[in-house]
Amino acid sequence: MTPILHTDRLVLREFQADDFEPYAAFWQSEASRMIGGPCSRADAWRRMAMYAGHRVLRGYGIWAVAPRAGGPIIGQAGLWFPEAWPEPEIHWAIFPAHQGQGFATEAAREIRRHARDELGFTRLVSCIEPANTASVKLALRLGAVREGSASLPPRVMDIYRHDMGF
């Protein structure tokens, strides 16, 4: 059973079939470049399915981010720890039309709280491409500290450690 998380403005929930159109549009766009895109509709579908499988295998994963007031999803965020990743990660990606409104910050804070208080995590990182200045600023705003970089093929990413004591 996937927990549903709520913030003042957001609902973090499982992906649903109805989420696919906005999700695929994001993954087909250049806006997904910093997190491994762009990709085809078929590959976007596989990503959505992969997130569902990750949750089954790890017991946690990526949520669809939806406005609490209703409407289509506006991004994805959650906990991510695929094979070869250095540690469990807080991940966020808000679709371009909804960026700059604090949604990623709001989602990340709730995810970090859930990871610590509900799942017992004591360590979390964010793996961020150095050119992704918006995500770097968010990680720093959350109190994360850059620890170095890691080769996460096909890219090298900077590793930001989150303080779980907040």
Residue 84: domain span: 5-162
Instruction: Give 20-53 pLDDT, tens digit per residue.
Output: 999 999 999 999 999 999 999 999 999 999 999 9
Q: 149 to each of 24, 60, 127, 135, 137, how far by Cα in Å?
A: 29, 24, 8, 15, 16
Instruction: Give 91-128 pLDDT, tens digit per residue.
Output: 999 999 999 999 999 999 999 999 999 999 999 999 99
Percent of the chain with pLDDT over 90: 95
Please give the Cα distance from 108 to 29 (Å, whole number).
Answer: 23
**What does pLDDT average to over the chain?**
96
What's the predicted TM-score (pTM) here?
0.95
Instruction: Provide the number of structural domains found in the chain.
Output: 1
Q: The domain that contains 151 carries what CATH number?
A: 3.40.630.30
CB-based contacts of 30, cutoff 8 Å, min separation 6: 37, 38
**For residue 103, what is the enclosing H or E element?**
helix 103-117
